A and B are shown apart, each in its own frame.
Chain A
């Protein structure tokens, strides 16, 4: 897979092998987890104050829910527009979609981590994954999404100095 920054600020992902494109295609679905542990992580309490927590649930959570969903939909649409050539895919992440991608990638990483119960030690592991082991593959997926997130953060930070 090749990554390149276009002159218009888009991030181009080219020659994406089917295996990696399949992982990319999973981003919106993995991010939209209905696991209660994921819900608790996406919508943490803002303070040890029951009244504020209740207000937060009714006023802030719906806004965040909408924001997270909108990011997933943007990513889903970008993935649908990926082109195919010689068995690989090419994907263009427009500059004005980078925030949506950062959010959806983060949502997916957090969701997988919560569902799999990964901790600090797991996240630091660097060994190559065993494709037969779903847990190791989930960890690889979190790492792959993290790599893409890092590329997007670097692009944004190079824009703003």
Chain B
């Protein structure tokens, strides 16, 4: 394995890769509330109560962060949500 030319940059890049990402679901006027909650239970394994909580947050606030974790898994979840025709995006989670 070759020596790193600039270990500081490499470390910084690795940190960025490990930084958490949010999966956000956005409101739309078409998807039924019951359908959205059902999709949350299927994709994330939420309890009925947790699925309903996020569904209502989407409905009332326009968006809900439904999952936070690695970028790779966030992309997978967004793909799953798109396959159910939900409006979903991923975004870097704010770091304290």
Interface residues of A (CB under 8 A from B): 42-48, 52, 60, 63-64, 67, 102-103, 106-107, 109-110, 113, 118-120, 122-123, 142, 146, 149-150, 153-154, 156-157, 160-161
Contact = CB atoms under 8 A, between A and B. Distances in A.
Given A46-B78, A146-B32, A64 B91 contact: no
Contacts of B91: 47-48
B31 A113 contact: no
A54 B70 CA distance: 20
B85 A110 contact: yes
Interface residues of B, number: 21
A52 B78 CA distance: 12
Main secondary structure on A side of the interface with B:
helix
Interface string B62-96: 00000000000001001100111101111100000
B89 A102 contact: no
Given A64-B83, A150-B35, 12 more contacts: A45-B89, A46-B75, A47-B89, A64-B79, A103-B84, A106-B31, A106-B35, A106-B84, A119-B29, A146-B32, A149-B35, A150-B32
Interface string B23-37: 000000111101100
B30 A113 contact: yes
Contacts, number: 66
B32 A153 contact: yes
A67 B91 CA distance: 25
B75 to A, nearest CB: 7
B38 interface: yes
B48 to A, nearest CB: 8
A107 B29 contact: no
Given A60-B82, A109-B30, A102 B88 contact: no
Contacts of B41: 160
A67 B83 CA distance: 8
